[in-house]
Amino acid sequence: AQKITQTQPGMFVQEKEAVTLDCTYDTSDPSYGLFWYKQPSSGEMIFLIYQGSYDQQNATEGRYSLNFQKARKSANLVISASQLGDSAMYFCAMREVGSGGGADGLTFGKGTHLIIQP
């Protein structure tokens, strides 16, 4: 079974609109972290935002916020007031910590290709 599922292969959004990128995850580990990364066409993975499984509040970083719904095992990324420069691939990733977890690296989803249109 997929540990990280991103169901939107591609999205087109008008500039200045808000956009939500979906991510669901699967783990039996009570301690884990969820990350979102942006990968522009240049190829570098840019860290955007982090949410810990025990964090009580949803993470926010500037125009990025993470809609964390633990019971549903979802961690959607919300980008407010989208800009042309937001066009890129976006990856959701998870790191499990406990004994039931996987490898020490991040497990990534397949990504969502976001295109912001003027």
Partner 1 sequence: GAGVSQTPSNKVTEKGKYVELRCDPISGHTALYWYRQSLGQGPEFLIYFQGTGAADDSGLPNDRFFAVRPEGSVSTLKIQRTERGDSAVYLCASSLIAGGQIDTQYFGPGTRLTVL
Which one of the spans 15-23, 62-70, 72-80, 93-101 is the region binding partner 1 (CB under 8 A)? 93-101
Q: How far is the CB of 106 from partner 1 (least distance, A)?
A: 6
Asked if 110 is part of the footprint of partner 1 (rule: CB under 8 A), the reply reads yes
Sign of CA dihedral 55, 58, 61, 64: positive
Q: Pick from 28, 41, 42, 57 the residue near partner 1 by CB under 8 A.
A: 42
Nearer to partner 1 by Cβ, of 43 and 85: the residue is 43
List all residues 6 or more positions away from 34 whose beta carbon is below 8 Å from its beta carbon: 23, 25, 50, 51, 52, 53, 66, 68, 75, 92, 93, 94
